[in-house]
Structure 1
Amino acid sequence: MSKPLLTILLCSPRGFCAGVVRAIDAVEQALKLYGPPVYVRHEIVHNRFVVDGLKAKGAIFVEELDEIPDTAAPVIFSAHGVPKSVPASAQERNFLAIDATCPLVTKVHREAEIHHRRGREVVLVGHARHPEVVGTMGQLPPGAVTLIETLEDARAFTPRDDQALAFVTQTTLSVDDTREIVDCLRQRFPAIVGPHKEDICYATTNRQEAVKRVAPLVEAMIVVGAPNSSNSQRLREVAEREGCAVSDLVQRAAEIDWTRFGAIASLGITAGASAPEVLVEEIIEAFAERYTVSVQTVSTADESVFFPLPRQLRPDAAA
C-alpha cells in the first residue's frame, strides 16, 4: 500500500545556538584536558540526550555544590547562569570552577548590577524558578529584584519610586509576550530604564520568527526540545498562537503521539536552542516510515555568532 504524501517544512534557524555550543564544548574540552570526572552544576543545557551523552563521557551532574566531594576535578556552571553565592561557595572549597554561563545571560547580570549600583529598583521579566531567573535574581541582594511573570503582574506592580526604576528580561522568553509586559511597564512608568539592546537573545528571536513564518502554512508543528527548556516551550506557544492547530513539544521520535498526526499533508519542524540536529533527523525518519516525505527548508535568518570557550579551557590557557 502506498504511503500518504507529507510535505515537511523545516524551520531555519533551529537547534543549537552559540551559547549552547559553547557550554557543551566546555564540558567536552574539560574532559579532554583534565580527564573524568568533570562535575557540572545543573544540566549544562536543558536536553536529556545531550546530558546523557556527556554523562557517558564522564560528566557528573549535580543540582548543588554540596553534592560534590572535595576534589581537584573541574566544576562547571551551566549555560543558564548562577547566583553569586555559587562561585563564592566554589571558591571557599577551592574548586577549579569554570563558568559556562552564556555571554548573553552574563550581559543581563551586568545590566542588573549597574542599575542597582545607580540606585534603581530592578524589575526582571521572567519565569519563577527557571535557573536563569534564579541566577539573575541572585546577582543582587535579596529584595533588590522584583520578578514580573505576566501582564497582570505588570499592571499590579507598585515600585518604591517610579523615577528610579529599571527592567531586564530573561533571554529565552516569547518576544511577543515580553513586548506586551514591557509596553505596559513603559506606559505606567515612563521613566523606567530598559536595556540598550534587547535582552531576549538573537537565537530565541530568530527561532520564533522562523516558526511564525512556517506555522500558518502547515497543519501540524513539532518542536524538538525538552519540557524544562524555556525557549522550546515558547516555540510551541508561538506555533499555536500563529494558528497551527496541532503543536507538540517532543524530546525524541518515541514520544510522538501519532493519533494527533493522522491525516495531515503538511508538517512544520523546529528545534529549541538546546536540541541537537540528530534528534530532528530522527523525527523526520519516523515520519518517513509512515509517509512519503518531501522536506523543504524555510530560512528567515543566517546565524554566524560564535562565543569563545571559558578562559581556562582555551588552547593558550596552559601557557
Structure 2
Amino acid sequence: MTRGQLRRMTELARDEGHQIRWEEARGAATAPLSTVRGLAPLLRAARRIVVGDPFSRYVQLLLTITRARDLVVVDDGTATMEFVAQLARGERLVRWHRSGGRPGPRELVFAPVSASARRRLTPGRRRSVEVFSAMPVADAPEGVRLTRNDFAWTRARFGPPRVAAGADLVGTSLVETGVVDLERYLAAVRDLARAYGATRYFAHRREHPDKLHRLATESGLEIVRPDLPLELIARRGPIGSTVLSFPSTVVHTLPLALTGTGVQVAVCDIDPAWLTEHASPRAEGFLADVTGTARDVHRVGADPATPADARPELPAQPGHDGRTVSGGRPTPA
C-alpha cells in the first residue's frame, strides 16, 4: 500500500508542475548502492534538501552526502514530535515505539551514519533547518524554524466532500509495530463499530492482510485500503459524519483537512492493559501525549458504551477513492 500511495502522490506532484525521479531503492540487493551512487551528484549540488522521515536509515545515509545549507523536514507523522524532542536533547534518533535498552548490532554498525545525520539536522552558522508539520511540536532546538501545515492546499485541491450519516473507523499499525496486543485491538474495534454504528474501516498502509481479514469476518466492517493518504480520501468523500481513530497522526491532520465540513473526529484512548510486554517503556506516555495535544477532537474512552441515541449504520458507498478488502482479498472499488 505504501508503494501504491507513493505512485498516486507522484501523479499529483506532476499535476502541480514537479519533476519526479522514481528510485527503486529496495528492489534488489544492489539497489541501495545504486540509488546512493545515482543521487550523490544531485545531493552534493543542491542548495536545499527536503526530506520526509528523519528516522529512515535511507534518509540518514543520504543526508551524509549533501552539502546543502537549507534542510527542510516535511512530516505529519507522530514521529515528528519525538524527532524534535530528541534533536533538542542531543539524543540518537530512535523511533518512539522501539523498545528501550542497548542498541542491537545493526544499530551499532549504523551509529556513525545516524550521528552524522543528526549533526546535519542540527542548525548552525552555515546550516538552517526547518520543520514543516501539522503535528504539535514543543521545545524545538534553538534555530529550528517551525512552519505549521494547515492543509490549505488539500482543502483548495479537493472537496468539499459529501458527508454521509454514520461513522467511519480509521485503522492503525500499533499491532504491527508490537505496541498493542492483537486480540485487544480486535475487541476494541468491534466495540467501537457496534457503539457508533460504523460500517467502514480505513486500513493503515502497514496493516497485515491476515489482521484485516479477521476484522472483516469478526466485525462485519467493510475494509477499505486507500490508494491515497487518508486526508485526501476524506476530503474527496464520501466520509462519515463521525470519524473514529486510535491515537495517531489523523487525530491531528483530519480536523484540519475537514475544516468547515461538520465532520467530527473522535479519538479512542489506548488502555495500558492493551500494551504488549514488548512495547517500549515510552509507549504509554507517548500515545497519551498524541491524544492530549490533539485539537478539535472528541475523546472516547477505551471501553466505549453504546450511546443512547445509537447512530444509524452507514450504508455502503460506491465510488470512494480506494480499494476494498472482502475476506482479506483486495477487490476494485
Question: Which structure has more RCO (C-alpha within 8 Å, separation ≥ 6)?
Answer: 1
**Shorter-chain TM-score above 0.5:** no
Q: Could you tell me the TM-score, scaled by structure 2's length?
A: 0.32
Q: Could you tell me the TM-score, scaled by structure 1's length?
A: 0.33
Say which structure is richer in helix.
1
